């Protein structure tokens, strides 16, 4: 019986290797308990040590007085020797933050110098409480330490960018204190796709730190190469209504464009729905923010259902197109193809379209929807469109659209522009004396000349009633220019003469009239425009 019990005890006994592992784990656990107890004890001692001082700084932190600064100096002198021992504790970290905020310039310089010159500072920014010190330093940054702070962040950027606490410090510095050169220098680390970028993107998605400046950059680069499941997580995050504040800045628009370029019709529809709600809730973003209109442009030129775009976006913003520069740019891009191809859009990932619908059809549908509202506002506006340079350029493209698609509703509008161009008088536009014949606006005003030239260029494509109007207009322009040939040839009005030669059936008549005056024309200074005319005569 005794032998049997011994055998059973031996069978129940753990092997030596297992016992050793258990012993080590138990020892580690006891050390951790002891460490925590020691930490609690330190915190208690620390609170007791500076209790009244800390309370005073908390009460006066938002006030401007010398007593607060003196108290901050006293606290610093007490904690200077144990700065790093207390920095990673809750109460210690808060105390250092208070001193930085309340102290005068001299004490701040000492704290910054002591923290930044310590090898542990890089690790401090990754700790639960230490990173708050980093954030406070950014908020109260001293110019002489800015570059040193940046170099530490740059050195650790690959690790910080996806590390929860340190990523906040990095992002705060880049968005509040960094120069454009510094931002670009950090971005260069994450510019090209690689396995590292994919791994960082996965960590960013996992930790939910999508909105940081570098996170946006990394996700944009990684997006086309992420596995469908991870890509879907990115799309779902950025299309949520509560997360759409990223549309307020350039890097946010960049990731937005990248996402729309890889989304399907259903996903883009969800985006559109949320953007409409966001726009209605935050009208100031459209009128005060210089980037938000790019997001709307992207939606307008990527979504196949133009009726839904009209209803969700254009319907709400059209009434403001003459009052808001950002809305004006949206409408302008619908009628001016060059603006949709502008190189500045490409730098943030804005492509013309990912739509399956033919580009010309989609654009015409958008133009048709905007047409009536624009026409009515132009006809009722007190703004003189022939004087406003930006609107003036837009009007040229609007006129091209009217004549190309024979929008007869705009016949009166075209007639009114022609009337102003030909008969605008000196006493209603000029407050100073001008040379003889200056009362003809198209001979003196570049803005008027732009529209005058645009109308001339429409002669060969104008049809129906528009054809009759434009032909009659070209005849009158020809007569006016020839009658005032000297003024025409020494001013920019000469380009109207060239337009008649190059774009209308009046070429021979114009050249014949010009050649009659060749003798005195030969005596004029040979400007570039006059040299072009000489090629014809």
- Percent of the chain at pLDDT above 70? 82
Of residues 32 and 391, more confidence is placed in 391
Highest mean pLDDT (candidates 35-39, 203-207, 369-373): 369-373
CB 342, CB 294: distance < 8 Å: no
Q: What's the pLDDT at 20?
A: 59
pLDDT in tens, 42-97: 444 555 667 777 777 777 777 777 788 888 888 888 888 888 888 888 888 888 99
- Determine the Cα–Cα distance for residues 387 and 84; give it in Å rounded to an integer: 66
Q: What's the pLDDT at 16?
A: 59
Residue 163 carries which DSSP code?
Answer: S
Structure-block tokens of residue 439: 């009362």
Of residues 445 and 33, more confidence is placed in 445
Q: What's the pLDDT at 122?
A: 92
Is pLDDT of 380 > 90? no
Q: What's the pLDDT at 39?
A: 43
Question: What confidence tier does 308 reach under pLDDT thresholds 50, 70, 90?
Answer: confident
Phi, psi of 258 (to 5 degrees): -60, -40
Q: Among 290, 275, 368, which Cα is nearest to 329's?
A: 290
Is pLDDT of 419 > 90? no
Phi-psi region of 52 (alpha: psi -120 to 50; beta: other; left: phi over 0): alpha
- Determine the Cα–Cα distance for residues 97 and 533; give it in Å rounded to an integer: 74
Phi-psi region of 437 (alpha: psi -120 to 50; beta: other; left: phi over 0): left
Question: What confidence tier does 126 reach under pLDDT thresholds 50, 70, 90?
Answer: very high
Is pLDDT of 535 > 90? no
Q: What's the pLDDT at 247?
A: 87
Is pLDDT of 444 > 70? yes
Q: What's the pLDDT at 434?
A: 38
Q: What's the pLDDT at 521?
A: 86
- Reported residue count of the chain is 537
Q: What's the pLDDT at 35?
A: 47
- Comparing 13-17, 210-214, 430-434, the range with the smallest average pLDDT is 430-434
- Determine the Cα–Cα distance for residues 73 and 103; give it in Å rounded to an integer: 6
Question: What confidence tier does 9 reach under pLDDT thresholds 50, 70, 90?
Answer: very low
Q: What's the pLDDT at 475?
A: 95
Question: What confidence tier does 22 reach under pLDDT thresholds 50, 70, 90?
Answer: low
Of residues 53 and 408, more confidence is placed in 408
Exposure string over 403-431, b if 16+ CB within 10 A, otherwise e? beeebeebeebbeebbebbbebebeebee
- Comparing 61-65, 131-135, 194-198, the range with the smallest average pLDDT is 61-65
Q: What's the pLDDT at 127?
A: 92
Mean pLDDT of the chain: 82
Question: What confidence tier does 386 reach under pLDDT thresholds 50, 70, 90?
Answer: low
Is pLDDT of 338 > 80? no
CB 234, CB 226: distance < 8 Å: yes
- Hey, how many other C-beta atoms are within 10 angstroms of the C-beta on 461? 13
Highest mean pLDDT (candidates 276-285, 291-300, 326-335): 326-335
Q: What's the pLDDT at 349?
A: 58
pLDDT in tens, 425-439: 443 333 333 344 445
Q: What's the pLDDT at 398?
A: 96
Is pLDDT of 36 > 50? no
Query: DSSP 3-state assignment of 461?
Result: coil
Q: What's the pLDDT at 296?
A: 85
Structure-block tokens of residue 167: 């990523």
Is pLDDT of 184 > 80? yes
Question: What confidence tier does 19 reach under pLDDT thresholds 50, 70, 90?
Answer: low
Is pLDDT of 151 > 80? yes
List, in order, residues 6 or more apart from 304 with CB less than 8 Å away: 265, 355, 356, 357, 362
- Comparing 33-37, 375-379, 507-511, the range with the smallest average pLDDT is 33-37
- Determine the Cα–Cα distance for residues 503 and 507; give it in Å rounded to an integer: 8
């Amino acid at each position: 019986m005794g032998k049997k019990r011994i055998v059973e005890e031996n069978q129940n006994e753990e092997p030596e290797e297992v016992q050793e592992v258990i012993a080590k784990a138990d020892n580690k656990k006891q050390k951790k308990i002891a460490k925590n107890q020691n930490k609690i004890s330190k915190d208690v001692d620390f609170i007791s040590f500076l209790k009244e001082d800390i309370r005073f700084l908390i009460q006066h932190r938002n006030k401007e007085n010398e007593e607060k600064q003196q108290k901050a100096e006293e606290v610093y002198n007490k904690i200077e020797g144990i700065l790093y021992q207390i920095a990673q504790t809750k109460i210690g970290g808060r105390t250092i933050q208070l001193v930085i905020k309340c102290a005068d310039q001299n004490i701040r310089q000492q704290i910054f110098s002591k923290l930044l010159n310590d090898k542990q500072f890089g690790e401090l920014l990754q700790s639960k409480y230490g990173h708050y010190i980093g954030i406070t330093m950014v908020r109260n940054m001293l110019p002489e330490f800015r570059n040193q702070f940046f170099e530490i962040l740059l050195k650790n950027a690959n690790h910080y960018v996806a590390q929860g606490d340190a990523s906040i410090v990095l992002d705060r510095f880049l968005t509040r204190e960094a120069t454009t050169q510094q931002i670009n220098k950090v971005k260069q680390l994450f510019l090209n796709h690689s396995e590292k970028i994919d791994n960082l993107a996965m960590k960013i998605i996992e930790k939910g730190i999508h909105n940081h400046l570098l996170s946006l950059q990394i996700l944009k680069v990684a997006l086309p190469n992420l596995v469908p499941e991870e890509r879907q997580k990115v799309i779902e995050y950025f299309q949520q209504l509560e997360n759409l504040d990223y549309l307020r800045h350039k890097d946010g628009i960049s990731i937005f464009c990248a996402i729309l370029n890889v989304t399907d019709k259903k996903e883009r529809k969800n985006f559109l729905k949320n953007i409409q709600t966001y726009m209605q809730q935050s009208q100031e973003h459209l009128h005060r923010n210089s980037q938000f209109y790019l997001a709307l442009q992207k939606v307008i030129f990527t979504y196949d259902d133009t009726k839904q775009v009209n209803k969700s976006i254009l319907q709400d913003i059209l009434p403001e197109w003459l009052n808001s520069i950002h809305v004006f740019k949206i409408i302008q891009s619908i009628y001016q193809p060059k603006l949709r191809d502008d190189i500045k859009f490409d730098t943030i990932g804005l492509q013309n379209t990912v739509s399956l619908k033919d580009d010309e059809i989609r654009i015409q549908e958008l133009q048709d929807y905007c047409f009536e509202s624009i026409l009515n506002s132009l006809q009722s506006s007190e703004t003189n469109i022939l004087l406003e340079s930006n609107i003036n350029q837009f009007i040229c493209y609007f006129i091209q659209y009217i004549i190309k698609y024979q929008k007869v509703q705009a016949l009166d509008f075209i007639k009114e522009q022609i009337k102003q161009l030909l008969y605008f008088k000196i006493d209603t536009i000029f407050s100073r004396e001008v040379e003889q014949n200056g009362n003809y606006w198209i001979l003196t005003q570049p803005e008027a000349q732009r529209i005058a030239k645009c109308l001339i260029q429409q002669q060969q494509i104008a049809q129906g009633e528009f054809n009759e109007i434009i032909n009659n207009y070209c005849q009158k322009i020809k007569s006016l220019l020839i009658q005032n040939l000297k003024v025409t040839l020494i001013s920019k009005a000469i380009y109207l003469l060239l337009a008649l030669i190059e774009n209308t059936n009046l070429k021979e008549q114009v050249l014949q009239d010009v050649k009659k005056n060749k003798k005195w024309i030969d005596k004029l200074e040979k400007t570039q425009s006059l040299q072009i005319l000489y090629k014809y005569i």
